[in-house]
Structure 1
Amino acid sequence: MFEAPGLEPLPVSSAIDRAVFTRDYARPRRPVLIRGAVAHWGALARWTPSFFREHFGDRPVRVEGRSLSFGELVDAIEASTPSQPAPYLHNHYIYHHLPEVVADIEPLPEIWHGNLLQHARFPHAGLLPDGKIGLFLGGDGASFPVLHRDTFHTHAFVTQVYGTKSVWLYGPDQTKRVYPKPEVPTHSRIEHPHDPDLNTYPDFAEVRGYTGTLTPGDTLFIPAWWWHTTYMPETSISVSVNYVDATNRWAFLADIWRERDGRRPLRKVATIAKIAALAWR
């Protein structure tokens, strides 16, 4: 597995209260891996591949363009290998698709509180992101489909529930070295950072960033505009959520202003006004 000389171990902390988190990580936009952040979650004891097969085996799920049942997906994940990885389920929204397990991930960590995207009056529409909590389920050899940075300058929290997950993060100052796609500037042309084609992308050999491994109970904070991706060295279950608060709301609103549909300027202004009114309450 490729490890660039400039990659450092992720900064690691134990439990952090919200004030310290905001001061030391969110505001300066520094990533951090928080060990044991969700030690209180029932999901840590309950969620296994067998759990999802037993309780939701017949429930349909769409993954990588295929329609499967949860049971079929779990069977594929248990047979997954690095050379033939199973389909990787990502952003399968728990509150919508699996409301029966919501109690297993409550209460949410304190540092997740105050998410503007989860406000009851936030105007979710069109391209706007939301604060839904997504389920990620993959087997040995699976990886997120693209090295990317999240749109609209949202922060993200990735929390590991079962198994382990390898992560790579690169700051905004490394953008040229990760070769953004001209047509999709939030996506990299490098498909597999853990096994890159350095003949095609030679500058990636000089990339600087962080790498680490999430274990059950850990939460990774990914600051706005940081490039990131993941790889599963074994069966992995995790959840993720995007986040906007006072530390990134200006950039979030600026992105919406630039990227929302310009053919309906009055609607765009109205949407931004609604969000701004919530952000500055």
Structure 2
Amino acid sequence: MSLTKSSPNNHNSSNSSVDKPMKMVDKFVSELQQLDVKLWIEGDRLRYKAPKETLTPDLLAQMKDRKEEILSFLIQSNPNNASSHESLIAQPEYTTVEKVAKLSYKEFVNSYLNPLHPVVITDAIQDWKALSTWTPEFFKKNYGSKEVTVDAQRYQLRNFIDLVLASNEDKPCSYLKDTDIPGLFPELLADIEPMLLYSQYNWLLSPMLYIPAADPVKQRNAFLELLIAGQGTKFPILHFDYWHLHAFIMQVYGEKEFTLFSPVQTEYLYPVDVSSNRSLIPDIHQPDLEQFPLFAKATPIKVIVKPGETIFVPSGWWHTTRMLTPSIAVTMNCLTNSNWDKFSQDLTRDLVNSFTSFKNHQGKLTILESNIYSYLDNLGKLLVSLDPN
């Protein structure tokens, strides 16, 4: 579609047919903006952020039906960015992470999940028994003889808990993570029920998503994991979650500070490589700006998550944490239609890279990549059709 408007002396029927729908979509976008709905583009997806209860079912249906029109309009309205859908259009102003309560699942989907906006939900796990029972002393007393691996070192849990309780800003302990609760502490699953409302339609748990080469990672990320650390401990890496998965972190004991960066900040965060979800910056709290000068342009968003609170970290959002007290949390990853495209791209890349026998046959690799992506595209459509959302 041309970026040049027709003149009065050159107003043929073709140009009229172009201008009319553009004016219609312009009016629709203006109406959305008057409702404080922010629109932007990420990849080839239309993203949005709106105040609660602003987007009625009718408006959502119109946005879905007119997605391609809106995308074209946003690109044409920003000609400097027209060559790339990766460029952000009408960037939403993310300066804080909201804390909300009594959030319905529908409100969560419309205001946070689909627009990829982080949020802290203050009452999502209010009925968990763990809130009144899980403490460092609880794990030391009841599971002290359990062996856990922390930073490639084996500990009896009682000895690691001693390190947690002695940890401080000057001498922080290591971070217990990647610990599968169903595998190591199956009897504790009853303490963390009911299931988190906002993760109820998690495609990672669908038996239809069975890909043998990827299943170990899928299974580890789909289930609940235990996180334990002491005061002053920091998560070791600034990252976003593997395969662009969403993350829910449920804080059970203690307080934890999250530092987040929007995906549009990526150019300032020094990813290991173009497809990496990890930053080269070893400590964002004490960055070496001579080595990483662009980091000075990054805009962090900080929020303290307290016991009983749950933070939703959307796909592609960079984050890391710092313990303000001894801390116990539970985490899980989530896959829905909102992050399926990025997930498919990441998984396709990793699967193609795993076929070392094709490395010297670019043609075979191209066909393989096309077949995998086509399979995932069709699988995504099937999962969408089965999703009640």
TM-score, normalization by structure 1: 0.90
Structure 1 position 198, deviation (Å): 2.2
1:114 paired residue number: 201
2:117 paired residue number: 30
Q: Structure 2 CA distance, aligned partners of 1:250 and 1:13? A: 28
2:134 paired residue number: 47
Q: Does 1:224 align with 2:224?
A: no
Q: Unaligned 5+ residue runs, structure 2? A: 1-92, 359-367
Q: Structure 1 CA distance, aligned partners of 2:273 and 2:338? A: 28
2:182 paired residue number: 95
Change in CA separation of 1:189 and 1:269 when aligned onto 2, cut-off 3 Å: closer
* Contact 1:7-1:208 within 8 A present in 2 as well: no
2:67 paired residue number: none
Structure 1 position 271, deviation (Å): 7.3
* Contact 1:7-1:211 within 8 A present in 2 as well: no
* Contact 1:7-1:207 within 8 A present in 2 as well: no
Structure 1 position 256, deviation (Å): 1.6
Single out whichever of 180-189 and 270-279 deviates more from structure 2. Answer: 270-279
2:165 paired residue number: 78
1:257 paired residue number: 348
Structure 1 position 135, deviation (Å): 0.6
Change in CA separation of 1:141 and 1:171 when aligned onto 2, cut-off 3 Å: same
* Residues 101-180 of structure 1 mapped to structure 2, 5 A cutoff: 101-123=188-210, 125-127=212-214, 128-129=217-218, 130-180=221-271
Q: Structure 1 CA distance, aligned partners of 2:158 and 2:330? A: 19
Change in CA separation of 1:87 and 1:248 when aligned onto 2, cut-off 3 Å: same
Q: Structure 2 CA distance, aligned partners of 1:257 and 1:173? A: 23
Please, what is the CA RMSD of the aligned residues?
2.3
Structure 1 position 33, deviation (Å): 1.1
2:6 paired residue number: none
2:235 partner SS: coil
Residues 14-38 of structure 1: CA distance to partner in whole angstroms, max 9, x if unpaired? 1311111110111111111111221
* Residues 196-211 of structure 1 mapped to structure 2, 5 A cutoff: 196-211=287-302
Single out whichever of 182-191 and 199-208 deviates more from structure 2. Answer: 182-191
Change in CA separation of 1:44 and 1:54 when aligned onto 2, cut-off 3 Å: same
Single out whichever of 196-205 and 134-143 deviates more from structure 2. Answer: 196-205
Q: Unaligned 5+ residue runs, structure 1? A: 1-5
* Contact 2:140-2:157 within 8 A present in 1 as well: yes
| Partner residue of 1:10 out of 97, 105, 113 | 97
Structure 1 position 183, deviation (Å): 8.0
2:332 paired residue number: 241
Structure 1 position 146, deviation (Å): 0.2
Q: Percent identity?
A: 31
Structure 1 position 249, deviation (Å): 1.7
Q: Structure 1 CA distance, aligned partners of 2:223 and 2:376? A: 20
Single out whichever of 121-130 and 49-58 deviates more from structure 2. Answer: 121-130
More helix by share: 2
More strand by share: 1
2:52 paired residue number: none
Single out whichever of 134-143 and 259-268 deviates more from structure 2. Answer: 259-268
* Contact 1:149-1:227 within 8 A present in 2 as well: yes
* Contact 2:230-2:327 within 8 A present in 1 as well: yes
Change in CA separation of 1:57 and 1:212 when aligned onto 2, cut-off 3 Å: same
* Contact 2:344-2:373 within 8 A present in 1 as well: no
Residues 111-167 of structure 1: CA distance to partner in whole angstroms, max 9, x if unpaired? 110101122443264444331111100001111110001122211111100000000
Q: Structure 2 CA distance, aligned partners of 1:84 and 1:126? A: 40
State which structure, 1 or 2, has the greater radius of gyration over its C-alpha atoms. Answer: 2
Q: How many residues align?
A: 276
Residues 61-105 of structure 1: CA distance to partner in whole angstroms, max 9, x if unpaired? 111010001111101111112121112101211111110100111
* Contact 2:228-2:328 within 8 A present in 1 as well: yes
2:300 partner SS: strand
Q: Structure 1 CA distance, aligned partners of 2:225 and 2:211? A: 16
Structure 1 position 7, deviation (Å): 8.7
Change in CA separation of 1:138 and 1:188 when aligned onto 2, cut-off 3 Å: same
Structure 1 position 180, deviation (Å): 1.0
TM-score, normalization by structure 2: 0.66
